[in-house]
């Protein structure tokens, strides 16, 4: 992991490395995103390394001058395509914008990397180049989920399709450190997603993870099982689940939100009276829309790696990309790696026998 935030803040600016060619749009979104991030991070000394085709990045930098002052272009001739399989990308993408952006973190030149590109390739190359944090089995993708009480961290939402009890406990450790760094809970509460809240509920992995989280002596405020409807309620700050269930839950929630927003739109244009009503309530409705704007939660870190890696949604715009950059900066400025290391040390004291019974 990079230097601790305290020492760091005194010695040199924060550097964020960007795969400028990633995502559906590349430089036309990335560069204005950098400009917005500069504004939002004003006062924090941050610089950006833009890896990619200089001939496409530089015209954008001339257009958006506020970005230019804080950005440096690192030319690369090749890119990883959105459709490349991870195994293919691993073999063939050395020297691409994505690979070099990750390499900047490995070399210590950058404190974090952000990409809106191919998720599978980002994960595979990050694992190879950066390696896992000490003791971690697999990375996890964390989502920031708007709730009645602010934001909750939900993980894993898609890095894995199966997770055993030990991995679920690791997700809990990473999720708590992430929430404190990015969403600011002093002592995040953690719940394990299940189909009921009684101890005997669920399949073997969640019951075993529940036992470990309850008994392993981790520095985590574990609150036991939660159910699907607890996520939006904000019952806990961190919701832990396997990547299959988490991915389905996240996409189901997105689908439900879109369905209801669609109904609302249809409703508020269905008659003259409804249209007048919508007009009258417009400022309030706009505030509501902002509250669930997917751009405001864009930026899903790949936790568990020996370096900070943040995935932006491929289709996002400059506002969303700037948010992903802010997530990366928050993580890079935090104690998150040290916190994870301390809990992993505690976990290692108890997991040897657990692994044996699980096999």
Residues binding a second copy (CB under 8 A): 146-148, 158, 161-162, 193, 195, 201-203, 227-233, 241, 243-245, 247-264, 266-268, 270-271, 273-274, 276-285, 287-288, 291-292
Distance, CA of 139 to chain centre? 11
- Please state, as a whole number, how many other Cβ atoms lie within 10 Å of the Cβ of residue 136: 20
Torsion of CA 291, 299, 32, 66, to 10 degrees: 100
Minimal distance, residue 96 CB to a second copy, in Å: 22
| Radius of gyration of the CA atoms of the chain, in A | 21
Strands 140-147 and 300-303: what pairing? antiparallel
Nearer to a second copy, 3 or 277 (CB): 277
Nearer to a second copy, 65 or 229 (CB): 229
Nearer to a second copy, 169 or 193 (CB): 193
Minimal distance, residue 7 CB to a second copy, in Å: 40
Nearer to a second copy, 259 or 315 (CB): 259
State how far the Cα of 199 lies from the Cα of 209, in Å rounded to an integer. 11
Closest CA to 196 of 218, 227, 165, 229: 227
Grouping H, G, I as helix, E, B as strand and the rest as coil, residue 33 is helix
Nearer to a second copy, 102 or 231 (CB): 231
Minimal distance, residue 234 CB to a second copy, in Å: 9
Minimal distance, residue 301 CB to a second copy, in Å: 18
Minimal distance, residue 33 CB to a second copy, in Å: 25
State how far the Cα of 310 lies from the Cα of 303, in Å rounded to an integer. 9
Nearer to a second copy, 77 or 279 (CB): 279
Minimal distance, residue 272 CB to a second copy, in Å: 9
Closest CA to 324 of 76, 90, 122: 122
């Amino acid at each position: 992991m990079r230097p601790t935030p305290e020492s760091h803040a005194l010695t040199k600016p924060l550097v964020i490395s960007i795969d400028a060619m990633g995502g559906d749009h590349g430089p036309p979104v990335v560069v204005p995103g950098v400009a917005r991030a500069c504004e939002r991070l004003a006062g924090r000394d941050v610089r950006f390394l833009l890896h990619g085709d200089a001939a496409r990045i530089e015209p954008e930098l001339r257009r958006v001058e506020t970005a230019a002052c804080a950005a440096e272009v690192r030319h690369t001739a090749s890119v990883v395509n959105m459709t490349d399989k991870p195994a293919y990308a691993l073999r063939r993408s050395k020297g691409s914008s994505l690979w070099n952006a990750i390499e900047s973190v490995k070399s210590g030149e950058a404190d974090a990397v952000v990409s809106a590109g191919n998720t599978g390739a980002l994960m595979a190359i990050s694992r190879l180049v950066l390696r896992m944090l000490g003791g971690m089995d697999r990375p996890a993708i964390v989502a920031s989920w708007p709730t009645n009480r602010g934001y909750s961290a939900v993980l894993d939402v898609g890095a894995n399709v199966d997770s055993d009890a030990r991995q679920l406990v690791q997700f809990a450790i990473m999720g708590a450190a992430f929430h404190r760094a990015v969403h600011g809970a002093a002592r995040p509460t953690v719940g394990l997603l299940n189909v009921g809240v009684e101890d005997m509920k669920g399949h073997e992995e969640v019951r075993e993870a529940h036992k470990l989280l309850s008994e392993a002596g981790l520095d985590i405020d574990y609150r036991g099982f939660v159910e699907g409807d607890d996520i939006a309620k904000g019952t806990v700050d961190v919701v832990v689940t396997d990547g299959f269930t988490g991915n389905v839950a996240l996409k189901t929630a997105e689908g439900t939100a879109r369905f209801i927003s669609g109904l609302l739109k249809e409703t508020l244009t269905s008659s003259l009276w409804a249209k007048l009503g919508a007009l009258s309530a417009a400022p309030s409705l706009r505030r509501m829309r902002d509250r669930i704007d997917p751009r405001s939660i864009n930026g899903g870190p790949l936790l568990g790696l020996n370096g900070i890696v943040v995935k932006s949604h491929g289709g996002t715009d400059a506002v969303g990309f700037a948010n992903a950059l802010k997530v990366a900066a928050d993580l890079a400025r935090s104690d998150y790696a040290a916190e994870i290391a301390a809990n992993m040390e505690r976990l290692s004291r108890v997991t040897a026998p657990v692994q044996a019974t699980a096999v």
